[in-house]
Amino acid sequence: MTEPRIALPAGTVAAQALADGLAEICTELSLPSAFSEAVTAEAAEASAAGHPDAAAWLVLGARVDRTDLPLVTLDPLGSRDLDQAFAIELEGGGAGGFTLHYAIADVAAHARPGGAIDAESRARGETVYLPGQRVPLHPAALSEDAASLLPGVDRLAVLWTLTVDGSGELVGSRVGRALVRSTAQLDYAGAQAALDAGTPHPQIANLALVGPVLQAAARGRGAIELPEPSQELVPVPGSDAWRLAWLPRHPLEDWNAQLSLLTGRAAATIMLGARSGLLRTLPPAEPGAEALLRTAAQALSVPWPAEQSLAERLATLDAGEPAHLALIDRSRALLRGAGYLPLLGLDPAPQEAIHSAVAAPYAHVTAPLRRLGDRFATEAVLAAVAGVAPPDWVASSLVQLPDLLRASGRRAGSATRAVVDLAEALVLAPYVGQTFEAAVVEVAGKNAEIRIVDPPIRARADAAGLTAGTRAQVRLTLADPTGRRVRFAAQSG
Choose among 278, 334, 281: nearest CA to 311. 334
Provide the terminal-to-terminal Cα distance of the chain, rounded to the nearest Å.
31
Ranges assigned E (strand) in 91-136: 98-105, 128-130, 133-135
CB-based contact 381:270 (threshold 8 Å): yes
**Predicted pLDDT of residue 14:** 62
- Look at the alpha carbons of 193, 199, 203, 205 in this order and tell me if their dihedral is positive or negative: positive
Amino acid sitting at position 51: H
Angle at 25 between CA 24 and CA 30, to 5 degrees: 100
- Between CA 293 and CA 335 the distance in angstroms is 13
Can you give the three-state secondary structure of 429-458, one letter per residue? Answer: HHHCCCEEEEEEEEEECCEEEEEECCCCEE
pLDDT tens per residue, the chain (493 residues)?
Answer: 233 334 454 455 566 788 889 999 999 999 998 999 999 999 988 888 898 889 999 987 789 999 999 999 999 888 999 999 999 999 876 678 999 999 999 999 999 999 999 999 999 999 998 887 889 999 999 999 999 999 999 999 999 999 999 999 999 999 999 999 999 999 999 999 999 999 999 999 999 999 999 999 999 999 998 887 777 777 777 766 677 777 767 899 999 999 999 999 999 999 999 999 999 999 988 888 888 889 888 888 899 999 999 899 998 888 878 888 888 888 888 888 999 999 999 899 888 999 999 999 999 999 999 999 999 999 999 999 999 999 999 999 999 999 999 999 999 999 988 988 898 888 888 889 999 988 898 898 999 988 887 777 888 999 999 998 888 999 999 999 999 999 999 987 5
CB-based contact 159:50 (threshold 8 Å): no
Q: Roughly what angle, to the nearest 10 degrees, separates helices 116-124 and 372-386?
A: 120
**Predicted pLDDT of residue 229:** 72
**Predicted pLDDT of residue 94:** 61
Cα separation values, 337 from 259, 305, 326, 332, Å: 24, 29, 21, 11
DSSP one-letter code for 126: B
**Predicted pLDDT of residue 426:** 85
- Give the CA-trace dihedral at 411, 417, 419, 423, to 10 degrees: -170
Q: What are phi and psi of 429, to 5 degrees?
A: -50, -40
- Between CA 328 and CA 335 the distance in angstroms is 11
Choose among 209, 176, 191, 179: nearest CA to 68. 179
**3-class state of residue 287 by DSSP:** coil
**Per-domain residue ranges for the chain?**
31-281+339-399, 289-330, 431-490
**Predicted pLDDT of residue 5:** 34
**Cis previous bond, 361, omega within 30:** no
**Predicted pLDDT of residue 4:** 33
Question: What is the pTM assigned to this prediction?
Answer: 0.90
For domain 431-490, which architecture applies? Beta Barrel (2.40)
Choose among 123, 88, 72: nearest CA to 209. 88
**Predicted pLDDT of residue 127:** 95
- Give the CA-trace dihedral at 128, 129, 135, 137, to 10 degrees: 50
**Predicted pLDDT of residue 18:** 82
Cα separation values, 99 from 114, 158, 169, 173, 300, Å: 37, 16, 11, 9, 43
**Predicted pLDDT of residue 283:** 93
Q: What is the DSSP string of 358-411?
A: TTEE----S-TTTBHHHHHHHHHHHHHHHTSPPPHHHHTTTTTHHHHHHHHHHH
CB-based contact 115:40 (threshold 8 Å): no
Task: State CA 420 to chain mean position distance.
Answer: 17
The set of residues, in sequence order, having a beta carbon less than 8 Å from that of 134 and lying 6+ positions away, is 127, 128
**Predicted pLDDT of residue 2:** 32
239: left (phi over 0), alpha (psi -120 to 50) or beta: beta
Q: What are phi and psi of 454, to 5 degrees?
A: -145, 110
Cα separation values, 335 from 225, 286, 339, 340, 381, Å: 10, 11, 11, 14, 26
Task: State CA 355 to chain mean position distance.
Answer: 15
CB-based contact 146:353 (threshold 8 Å): no
- Between CA 272 and CA 282 the distance in angstroms is 16
Q: What is the CA radius of gyration of the chain?
A: 23
Amino acid sitting at position 205: A
